[in-house]
């Protein structure tokens, strides 16, 4: 039972980071109907930017704040340079552009930072675990989860209570109606990409503190997809619930099934779950159900 509780607790904490990255998927899909297949590489860039400034001697919080600012700028530039002219074009065209962006971003990362695994030195979080009753929790997991939770609250509050956030929601619900009351679709798309870049970068930074940082962190972008599908591609609360659920599922499979199926069952399990789940709930738990009559 102690092992089970520790596995679930760690899964919840890692799932909070997944939820942060899933938020980026949901934002772009809500506003434009596009699956951003470059999300993993956006995660990678934000993580390496944080690592670079931390290695220069900046405090971790300052390095993270700088990466948020740079992520915002890169998100706006990406949307303006590569995607602005595609507004109104078929969705498949935009998706293929994001595929090209994923290769472009990965090439830039390899050119600047290389492919070797790098770690945050000195360690950001203390190595001594925290004991809570029968649970033994690594501080890197605990503080990463708290940071992810705080940022999720900030982003959700932004969407619910600010004028810009409400404009983004209005555009996602009905673009023509939003345009008719003066909402700029170009601004909304740029803001969605900027926030997605920021959320992905923070998620990558937190995971880099846990496992070290290398080019394989970009895999996180696809790993988070089952979480997005579970919650619903256009549901912000769904992204949070889905991220935590996938974190728990992955940890449970790693703890109890790896001994019987060695070779990466922990990485495969979320996608198997996604395939089965889609058979019964193709729109996710809170996704919009679109019914077309012909």
Per CATH, the number for 2-280 is 1.10.3470
Predicted local confidence at residue 53, as pLDDT: 94
> For 34-51, how does the pLDDT look when each residue is reduced to its tens digit (9 = 90+)?
788 888 899 999 999 999
Question: pTM value?
Answer: 0.86
Average pLDDT over residues 117-140: 81
> For 259-272, how does the pLDDT look when each residue is reduced to its tens digit (9 = 90+)?
887 777 888 888 88
Q: What is the mean pLDDT of the chain?
A: 84
| Residue 59 to residue 105: CA distance in whole angstroms | 26
Cα-to-chain-centroid distance, residue 278: 20
Strand boundaries in the chain, DSSP class E = 130-132, 135-137
Average pLDDT over residues 129-150: 80
Predicted local confidence at residue 147, as pLDDT: 82
Average pLDDT over residues 29-36: 78
Predicted local confidence at residue 66, as pLDDT: 94
CB 246 within 8 A of CB 17: no
């Amino acid at each position: 039972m102690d092992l089970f509780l520790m596995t679930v607790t760690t899964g919840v904490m890692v799932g909070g980071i997944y939820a942060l990255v899933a938020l980026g998927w949901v934002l772009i899909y809500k506003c434009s109907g596009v699956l951003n297949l470059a999300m993993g590489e956006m995660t990678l860039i934000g993580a390496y930017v944080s690592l670079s400034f931390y290695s220069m001697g900046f405090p971790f919080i300052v390095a993270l704040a700088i990466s948020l600012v740079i992520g915002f700028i890169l998100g706006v530039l990406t949307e303006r340079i590569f995607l602005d002219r595609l507004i109104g074009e078929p969705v498949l065209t935009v998706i293929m552009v994001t595929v090209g962006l994923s290769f472009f971003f990965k090439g830039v990362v390899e050119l600047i930072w290389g492919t070797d695994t790098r770690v945050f030195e000195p360690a950001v979080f203390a190595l001594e675990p925290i004991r809570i009753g029968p649970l033994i929790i690594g501080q890197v997991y605990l503080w990463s989860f708290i940071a992810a939770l705080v940022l999720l609250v900030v982003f959700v509050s932004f969407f619910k209570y600010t004028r810009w956030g409400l404009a983004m929601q209005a555009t996602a619900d009905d673009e023509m109606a939003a345009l008719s009351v003066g909402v700029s679709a170009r601004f909304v798309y740029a803001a969605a990409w900027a926030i997605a870049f920021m959320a992905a970068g923070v998620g990558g930074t937190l995971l880099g503190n846990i496992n070290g940082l290398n080019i394989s962190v970009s895999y996180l972008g696809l790993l988070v997809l089952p979480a997005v599908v579970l919650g619903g591609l256009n549901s912000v609360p769904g992204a949070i619930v889905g991220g935590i659920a996938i974190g728990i599922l992955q940890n449970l499979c790693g703890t109890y099934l790896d001994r019987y199926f060695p070779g990466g069952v922990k990485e495969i399990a979320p996608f198997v779950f996604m395939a089965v789940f889609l058979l019964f709930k193709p729109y996710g738990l809170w996704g919009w159900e679109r019914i077309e009559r012909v």
